[in-house]
A = this chain, B = another copy of it.
Amino acid sequence: MIQVNGVVTDNLPVTDRGLLYGDGVWETIGIQQGKPQLLEWHLERLQTGLAALGIQSLDWDTLREEIRAACAGEERAILKLIVTRGVGQRGYSPHTLLPPTRILQVTSWPEYPAAYTATGIRLTLCETRLAQQPRLAGFKHLNRLEQVLARAEFGSEVQEGLVRDYHGNIIEGTMSNLFIIRADGAVVTPELSQCGIAGIMRRYIAQTLEKFSIECHIQPLALVDVEQAQAIFMTNSLIGVWPVCEFSDKSYNIPSLIRDLQAEILVLP
């Protein structure tokens, strides 16, 4: 089911700035038992993105009501939410305030093999780098060609690719965030002020670690930090927590902390 501005349709005007310039933001939200998971955090990040792009704010009550209605009765599904600057005239100028376009799409849950969660995934290092652009870092906008290029580098022989910036900092996976457990037990996830998407599951994991009285360090990470880690795991709203069993010709164990985190996210608010 897809709806655009409250109307059920599969189509969008060709003149929407979401297509013309990638001028918009989006969220991928898990639905369980009719409830969109971590919805407030998703809407918060959406709002951060709209503000960063100077897109007119939404009627949040209408959006919430549409989300509620779209999720109702869905046992286990995905809600994709896109908000663009709207249908525009020619040219980049965003000065004419347009009513934003809101798109809601509910699709079936992608059933990844259970082994990815149980015994871990193979991770590869991508050659594609992320450009440093602080103005577009952290939130989830529609300019995603770097992710497409990075994802093009690997097939089904591995499950995720790790992407660096041009300074060599490890940033994230093509569709997920990275955490490492260092040899000394510290948990670290990359700092994302220059590029990358600050995932909602990343935030939830950081909060869960805090609940476990484990500090989550957010700092720059080099390739050697990942290679020498005791354990590695990748997160996003749909995959939850995937341990990494293999990276850079090295095998990694799955410590109990990863199992505890997996257990903790089985039921999400």
Contacts and interface: CB of A to CB of B under 8 A. Distances in A.
A100 B23 CA distance: 21
Interface in A133-192: 133, 135-136, 141-152, 155, 166, 174-175
Nearest to A93: B151
Contacts of A166: 132
Interface stretch (A4-12, A210-218, A261-269): A4-12
Contacts of A250: none
Interface residues of A, number: 59
A208 interface: no
A27 interface: no
A107 interface: yes
Nearest to A161: B92
A145 B82 contact: no
Contact of A147 (B13, B21, B152): B21
A143 B133 CA distance: 13
Given A152-B93, A155-B95, A145 B14 contact: no
Given A94-B151, A141-B145, A152-B93, A14 B4 contact: yes
A103 interface: yes
Contacts of A119: none
A14 B10 contact: yes
Contacts of A21: 22, 142-145, 147-148
A141 B146 CA distance: 12
B135 A128 contact: yes
Contact of A148 (B16, B92, B107): B92
A103 B90 CA distance: 15
A88 B119 CA distance: 30
Given A12-B19, A53-B148, A94-B151, 12 more contacts: A2-B15, A10-B13, A11-B11, A11-B14, A17-B148, A21-B22, A21-B144, A92-B150, A93-B151, A95-B152, A95-B155, A143-B143
8 contacts: A10-B15, A12-B19, A16-B19, A54-B149, A91-B110, A91-B175, A132-B132, A135-B146
